[in-house]
Amino acid sequence: MPTISLRISEEAKEKITSLAQETGGTISGVVLDAVNSAIGGARANFPEDMAPSSLSSANRLILRNQELLLSMCPELDEYERADHACNALVLERGYTSEYSRVFACLYSEVPYSLSDELFGILDMFRVLRASYTALSEEEKGQIEERDISFRGFDLNDNVESPLVGYVKYLFEDDRYTELMEPLGRFSDGGNSHHPNLNMYRRMRRCFEPIWRKHLLTVSMLSLEEIKKVISAIPYNSGY
């Protein structure tokens, strides 16, 4: 892990030391929490909590004014307006332990690398299904349709669960909609109830070199090529 060094006043050091003693933590931990807050990170002890441990005065004022405006919005019901009014008070008074309620609507970010991987997976199944559709009825009989269909992700898996909502968002945005119908048949509303990401990765490792050969001709995969991609599904397939 990279390290940095900085010079601070004796007064600041005393305050950091005191805070570390009060919280039962370390000086490094206090400084790291402050850095995470400054860059928008969550508190280390609460990775699922998107609330920062501290906000600058300028950001507090901006958010507080937004919450006040929402508390007076006639389109919201009385309970929603009351929630926003409470949020405004929390931000105004600087009740840091209550910031969780202000930021409760936020989800953890889906890393760009995982988002890119998701698109690669969906693209693969788009090609597999188009290739399957182009087969003769006799050839289709040699393929289990479930094996060439996108089957969602596991809502109980920390890595996969955000992708369930991401796929739903893409469908609602009219992207990859041809995968919706088979997903409905081969999953529980997009929830696979078991991790699928590693299986998809194995399939892609097999699929991508095959598909690269087709990019110039824009032709579909043959029956044998589809079978080869399907052969990567088992965890011990070697892919």
Structural domains of the chain ordered from first start: 10-102 (no CATH), 112-230 (1.10.3190.10)
Are the beta carbons of 193 and 154 closer than 8 angstroms?
yes
Rounded distance, CA 44 to CA 36, Å? Answer: 9
Rounded distance, CA 57 to CA 176, Å? Answer: 44
| Res 47: pLDDT | 45
Rounded distance, CA 170 to CA 173, Å? Answer: 5
61: tokens are: 């004022």
| Res 49: pLDDT | 64
| Res 41: pLDDT | 54
Are the beta carbons of 51 and 100 closer than 8 angstroms?
yes
- pTM of the predicted model, to two decimals? 0.73
| Res 1: pLDDT | 65
Q: Is 218 left (phi over 0), alpha (psi -120 to 50) or beta?
A: left
| Res 208: pLDDT | 96
Residue with tokens 């052969």: 231
Are the beta carbons of 122 and 150 closer than 8 angstroms?
yes
Q: Which of 66, 73, 51, 222 is nearest to 140 (CA)?
A: 222
Phi and psi at residue 49, in whole multiples of 5°? -95, 120
Q: Report helix, strand and coil shares of the chain as percent, to nearest 5.
A: 60, 0, 40
Mean pLDDT by 10 residues, the chain (239 residues): 80 79 71 65 54 88 97 95 96 93 88 94 97 96 96 94 96 97 96 96 96 86 97 94
